A = this chain, B = another copy of it.
Amino acid sequence: MEYYSKTITKLIAELGHLPGIGQKMAQRIAFHLLHQDEQSVRDFADAIVTARTSARFCKECCTLTDEDICPICASDKRDHHTIMVVEDTRDLVAYEKTGQYNGVYHVLQGAISPMQGIGPGDIRLKELMVRLQGDVDEVIIATNSTLEGEATALFISKMLKDTGIRVTRIASGVPVGGDLEYVDEVTLLRALENRKEL
């Protein structure tokens, strides 16, 4: 049995399909929207449709953007000889927020995952190879420190073995400001292995 009217039930169901949104949360958001004035709800719906319809992958680095070439790839202030490879546009943004990285990116839009049936052909590796025909000094692999991210990093490093391009991987270890007791064991061991002379 449905407890809400048809249109409200549909809204709650749609909201419940969003990642990380459970039934209770979907109800809460639905009623928030139902109590907003009509114009702001229309604006919200417009923002969703506009973002989706104008979304495209940058022809250079494959990040999600609303232009053919994203601002980073279009900028002549960036070092186009250094390419950081990330899985996702959000990972790109995470490094952009540091404000310290001046190279460009390549967004794979995923990672190799045999478990999920995602092979090298399913992520943006071909596009990376095309870019490496150009004048590239270093490829920094910044895929996630997960099984899939590590597999992808390994695959790329093998793929670039004979190109003469420097291939590096971002360090893994204890997060800065992190309390050791809350860090998982694998990270603790990794940090120990990668210890440096002081």
Contacts and interface: CB of A to CB of B under 8 A. Distances in A.
Interface of A: 3-8, 10-11, 14, 18-21, 25, 27-34, 36, 38, 41-55, 64-67, 70-71, 88-90, 93, 96-97
Contact of A33 (B33, B51, B66, B70): B51
A3 to B, nearest CB: 4
A140 B32 CA distance: 26
B5 A34 contact: no
A41 to B, nearest CB: 4
A115 B39 CA distance: 28
A34 B7 contact: no
A3 B88 CA distance: 13
Contacts of A32: 18-19
B10 A47 contact: yes
Given A45-B48, A53-B38, A19 B28 contact: yes
Given A19-B32, A33-B48, 4 more contacts: A18-B29, A20-B29, A38-B52, A45-B48
A106 to B, nearest CB: 17
Contact of A29 (B11, B19, B45, B64): B19
A1 B121 CA distance: 34
B20 A55 contact: no
CB-CB nearest 9 A-B residue pairs: A11-B51, A45-B45, A41-B52, A5-B66, A3-B93, A5-B65, A7-B51, A14-B47, A45-B48
